[in-house]
Amino acid sequence: MAKKKTTTKRKSTKGSKTTLKEKLTFSRQQKVVLGSFLFFLGIGLFFAFISFFYNWKIDQSEISQFGNREAEVKNWLSKFGASVSHFFIFKGFGISALILPVLISLSGVYLFFDLNRKKLAGFWFWGILVMLWIAVVFGFIEKENGLLAGVIGYEINDFLRDYIGFIGTVLVLAFLAIVYIVVRLQYTPEKIAVSLKNLEKKQPRKKTENTAVAEEIQPVVEETPEITEKNDITATKNTELEVEASYVPVADTTISMAVDTTVEQKEPKNETDKIVIKSETDPEDIAMEVETVVEEEEVVESLSEKLVQDFGEFDPKLELGNYRFPTIDLLKDYTSQLGGITIDQGELEENKNRIVETLKNYKIEIAQIKATVGPTVTLYEIVPEAGIRISKIKNLEDDIALSLAALGIRIIAPIPGKGTIGIEVPNKKSTIVSMRSAISSSKFQNAEMELPLSLGKTISNETFVVDLAKMPHLLMAGATGQGKSVGLNAILTSLLYKKHPAEVKFVLVDPKKVELTLFNKIERHFLAKLPDTEEAIITDNTKVINTLNSLCIEMDARYDLLKSAMVRNIKEYNAKFIARKLNPENGHKFLPYIVLVIDEFADLIMTAGKEVETPIARLAQLARAIGIHLIIATQRPSVNVITGMIKANFPARIAFRVTSKIDSRTILDSGGADQLIGRGDMLYTQGNDLVRIQCAFVDTPEVERITEYIGGQKAYPDAHLLPEYVGEESGTSIDISVSDRDKLFAEAAEVIVTAQQGSASLLQRKLKLGYNRAGRLIDQLEAAGIVGPFEGSKARQVLVPDLTALQKLLDEEG
Ligand SMILES: Nc1ncnc2c1ncn2[C@@H]1O[C@H](COP(=O)(O)OP(=O)(O)OP(=O)(O)O)[C@@H](O)[C@H]1O
């Protein structure tokens, strides 16, 4: 009996991650309001705590009567003050609880002025530790007075005394005090010694002058009288001066002092060297002392930490700080309209019987059969009777499929890791997997991935989420009309729902000119383009070559940055940049991921051949570490399109339905894609197992709504600019002799003049040439004065108005 697996509809955890994030980030107004609240709360608590120390005895009996409005309480904040104070002081930390209102008010100030929250967290961390420490110390020395230590202090002390005894407790407390002084206050023994020394020196001077020092210095002063005029230093009577280099303070009495040259030489050696000059009533008794201070202690370990402390971590999203991610309701809810997966008991039974019977014909007995109903297909998992070899079933694959006589049957013998045999039979009524359900699934929302893609649902109805960054490049193939474009849209939509414009940029190549145009609206948010080009979405195949080469330049530049930052990949690089460990002045910048999408790759390879294959192979081989990922889609998965070089570098592949087993082999290295049922039914592999997935469906109006939503928001001034690539086309002042001209020169000239359009791609199409040859022809036409010079993204100007004029020009030359 077929075991029925009821499908549990996954409740959408609608944007759980983003909403949590949103909850934690306050608007400016919220911060001001919350900040003021906390500030006043802190002050209120402070007063309540103070008054608790005077009134706690009187109030004690009233605390329990919180609900009784008649009960009179002496605390300055009345019943609330008395209760809260009782809780924090008596039951909590004792006198040290006074730190708490200070911390709360401080938090208020930080929020109000929107200061660095990390610093605040530091205050809380150390504040609570100090609170505990003081509580325990009071618990230790003032056991009798519960108000000083609080219950917590008392109990911790008791605990320590029980386990490590009197001496142990003293040692632990002393150790913690040292930790605080060294770690928090950044005091080291050297620093303390220097401070003490300074203190010692300052004190006696205030009372009587240190004559001994004065005497010591005096001879030097007398010995070098000639410098006296030069170094006229004036000082106030009985005042101490600290001079760094030469310093002339205003004075009541002018005192001449000669500074020994030896002293002067010594002075600039160390910036912290100070000359202490003291003046006395008698100008002869000037005391001078040269003090060498130990090199100043670094307060913060490194510059980056200091920068982070002062300014917080670098936020790449700051420029579009108010960017709102697209909301889930921009996507259509197909499930509520068309219903979710329905299980047709009759259909299941019928299929089961046919499978059992068919296998029986081949003498394969079944011990158990289990059905898993997916959105488009149902998987019948079969456990054969003991003794039946799986290879037998595998060999009979085609016969079984034939006997079951249904389109789209796929036999998986055995199911990897299970030892059972799977037979996938299409459902009579397939269910659309909406992009909405794929996006709102918890698996996607909670995905901790760099570039998460929600591709659709597996046969067991689980949302299938993969990381493009791990793939690291994706090859998609499928015959026309089988769901490739929808698949590409699903991929791009996934990224739009998860990534901020600062984090990812798309380079879109769309020779069909219709599929990806919708993304034009988000050009200044998410697209990257070559400088000086008008349209970010590339529809002209010749421009693809420039873009690919430009991406190679970007790749090399990024590798240089990674090298100088001494990191291995973009993730580490960006983490280091965010932590302000990389100086933007040295060319470092936050690197967004770049996703290159090429629709209709076959078309591109046909027209440009090697010229695109080489940069693509280079990018595919090297770009994974620096965050450039390729998604290539093609209708024709033939070997001359998907060459060995490309295949080797694209381990992740998606196959929609293809027309032949050969095509399936080309794309997946195995059959199966020819047995799919179309409409988004696909197989995914990342080098090992094949997973059958129903691709999430996202319709054009949905994509339009999303791009409009994003496009309507504040954007960057321009699309992300890729490095400039000066292609072959830009060659100027070419001098090509008539004899060196291509055989097709005259024909090419006619094509160009007739069409009045000076483009290499036109020649490629009309004369069926490779890109290189067409490019060379254009150069020759330029040299002959038939077309104008290279003009960036625009086609070259045609300088000859008609064929007659052309004929005349050629005759003249000839
Ligand atoms: N995941 C899906 N779920 C349901 N229906 C789908 C799905 N994907 C595609 N379809 C259906 O198939 C039709 C064709 O899909 P799509 O335009 O993506 O095909 P294509 O392979 O890109 O074709 P072409 O190569 O000609 O552009 C869609 O209009 C839609 O009706």
Evaluate whether 435-717 and 728-813 have a shared fold.
Answer: no
**Residue 380 phi, psi dihedral angles, 5° rounding:** -100, 115
Mutate to test the pocket of ligand 1, among 331, 677, 679, 698 (most ligand atoms within 8 A of CB): 679
CA of 376 to the centre of ligand 1 (A): 15
What's the rounded Cα separation, in Å, for the pair 622 and 600?
23
Which of 347, 359, 357, 366 is closest to 428 using CA atoms?
A: 347
What pLDDT band is residue 4 in, cutting at 50, 70 and 90?
very low
Joined together, the tokens standing for residue 519 give: 């993304």
* Residue with CA nearest ligand 1 atom 30: 679
Q: Per the annotation, does 610 bind a ligand? A: no
Q: What is the dihedral of CA 447, 450, 455, 459, to 10 degrees?
A: -50
CA of 700 to the centre of ligand 1 (A): 11
Q: Per the annotation, does 281 bind a ligand? A: no
Instruction: Give tens-digit pLDDT for 120-149.
Output: 888 898 888 898 899 888 888 877 776 788
What is the per-residue pLDDT for 316? 82
Contact 173, 133 (CB under 8 A): yes
What is the per-residue pLDDT for 793? 61
What pLDDT band is residue 776 in, cutting at 50, 70 and 90?
confident
Atom of ligand 1 nearest to the CA of 489: 18
What is the per-residue pLDDT for 525? 92
CA of 701 to the centre of ligand 1 (A): 14
CA of 679 to the centre of ligand 1 (A): 6
Q: Per the annotation, does 478 bind a ligand? A: yes
Please determine, looking at this structure, whether the domain spanning 728-813 carries the CATH number 1.20.1740.10: no
- Residues of the chain above pLDDT 90, percent: 21
Residue 497, pLDDT > 70, answer yes
Joined together, the tokens standing for residue 629 give: 């990922």
The CATH architecture annotation of domain 435-717 reads: 3-Layer(aba) Sandwich (3.40)
* Residue with CA nearest ligand 1 atom 2: 680
Residue 694, pLDDT > 90, answer yes
Burial of 359 (0-12, 13-18, 19+ CB in 10 A): buried
Atom of ligand 1 nearest to the CA of 696: 1
Instruction: Give tens-digit pLDDT for 233-254.
Output: 333 333 333 333 333 333 333 3
- Identify the weakest region by mean pLDDT among 23-37, 65-79, 137-151, 315-329: 65-79
What pLDDT band is residue 768 in, cutting at 50, 70 and 90?
confident
What's the rounded Cα separation, in Å, for the pair 506 and 526?
6
CA of 712 to the centre of ligand 1 (A): 28
Contact 147, 59 (CB under 8 A): no
Q: Where are the domains of the chain?
A: 26-186, 191-291, 341-426, 435-717, 728-813
- Crossing angle between the packed helical segments 745-755 and 771-783, to the nearest 10 degrees: 80
Atom of ligand 1 nearest to the CA of 482: 21
What is the per-residue pLDDT for 465? 94
What beta strand segments (E) does 222-273 contain?
240-243
What pLDDT band is residue 271 in, cutting at 50, 70 and 90?
very low
Please determine, looking at this structure, whether the domain spanning 341-426 carries the CATH number 3.20.20.140: no
What is the per-residue pLDDT for 542? 76
Residue 221, pLDDT > 50, answer no
Comparing 791 with 508, which gets the higher pLDDT? 508
Which of 594, 575, 619, 582 is closest to 499 using CA atoms?
A: 594
Atom of ligand 1 nearest to the CA of 488: 18
Comparing 32 with 413, which gets the higher pLDDT? 32
What is the per-residue pLDDT for 265? 35
- Identify the weakest region by mean pLDDT among 590-594, 634-638, 729-733: 729-733
What residue type is 602 in one-letter code? A
Residue 743, pLDDT > 50, answer yes
CA of 484 to the centre of ligand 1 (A): 6
Atom of ligand 1 nearest to the CA of 694: 1
Buried b (16+ CB within 10 A) or exposed e, 156-191: bbbebeeeeeeeebeeebeebeeeeeeeeeeeeeee
Instruction: Give tens-digit pLDDT for 524-574.
Output: 999 999 887 888 898 887 788 889 999 999 999 999 999 989 999 999 999
CB contact set of 203 (below 8 Å; sequence gap of 6+): none
Comparing 222 with 791, which gets the higher pLDDT? 791
CA of 720 to the centre of ligand 1 (A): 30
CB contact set of 791 (below 8 Å; sequence gap of 6+): 797
Instruction: Give the Cβ contact number of residue 365 at 10 Å.
Output: 12
CA of 103 to the centre of ligand 1 (A): 59
* Residue with CA nearest ligand 1 atom 25: 480
* Residue with CA nearest ligand 1 atom 6: 679
CA of 487 to the centre of ligand 1 (A): 8
Q: Per the annotation, does 456 bind a ligand? A: no
What is the per-residue pLDDT for 787? 86
* Residue with CA nearest ligand 1 atom 5: 679
Q: Report CA torsion sign: 434, 437, 443, 447.
A: positive
Comparing 578 with 193, which gets the higher pLDDT? 578
What is the per-residue pLDDT for 226? 39
Average pLDDT over the chain, rounded to an integer:
78
* Residue with CA nearest ligand 1 atom 20: 481
Q: Per the annotation, does 484 bind a ligand? A: yes
What's the rounded Cα separation, in Å, for the pair 459 and 284?
100
What is the per-residue pLDDT for 579? 87
What pLDDT band is residue 727 in, cutting at 50, 70 and 90?
low
Comparing 754 with 1, which gets the higher pLDDT? 754
The DSSP element (H or E) to which 661 belongs, if any, is: helix 661-668
Comparing 303 with 786, which gets the higher pLDDT? 786
- Identify the weakest region by mean pLDDT among 170-179, 294-303, 596-605, 741-750: 294-303
Q: Per the annotation, does 372 bind a ligand? A: no
- Identify the weakest region by mean pLDDT among 243-257, 445-459, 566-580, 603-617: 243-257
Which of 211-225, 484-498, 733-747 has the largest mean confidence? 484-498
CA of 750 to the centre of ligand 1 (A): 41
What pLDDT band is residue 696 in, cutting at 50, 70 and 90?
very high
* Residue with CA nearest ligand 1 atom 23: 481
Measure the CA angle with vertex 109, ends 106 and 114; round to 5°: 125
- Residues of the chain above pLDDT 70, percent: 79
Instruction: Give tens-digit pLDDT for 50-78.
Output: 888 887 777 776 666 666 777 777 788 88
What is the per-residue pLDDT for 669? 87
Mutate to test the pocket of ligand 1, among 429, 431, 435, 485 (most ligand atoms within 8 A of CB): 485
CA of 694 to the centre of ligand 1 (A): 12
Instruction: Give the Cβ contact number of residue 278 at 10 Å.
Output: 20
Mutate to test the pocket of ligand 1, among 482, 603, 631 (most ligand atoms within 8 A of CB): 482
Comparing 112 with 790, which gets the higher pLDDT? 112
Q: Which residues' Cβ are closer than 6 Å to ligand 1? A: 432, 478, 480-486, 635, 679-680, 695, 697
Q: Per the annotation, does 437 bind a ligand? A: no
**Residue 176 phi, psi dihedral angles, 5° rounding:** -65, -35
What pLDDT band is residue 294 in, cutting at 50, 70 and 90?
low
Q: Is 288 helix (H, G, I), strand (E, B) or coil?
A: strand
CA of 485 to the centre of ligand 1 (A): 6
DSSP one-letter code for 656? -
Q: How many CA atoms lie within 13 A of 703 on its CB side?
A: 24
* Residue with CA nearest ligand 1 atom 11: 679
Mutate to test the pocket of ligand 1, among 486, 654, 684, 695 (most ligand atoms within 8 A of CB): 486
Q: Per the annotation, does 479 bind a ligand? A: yes
Comparing 762 with 303, which gets the higher pLDDT? 762
What is the per-residue pLDDT for 283? 52
ipTM over 0.95: yes
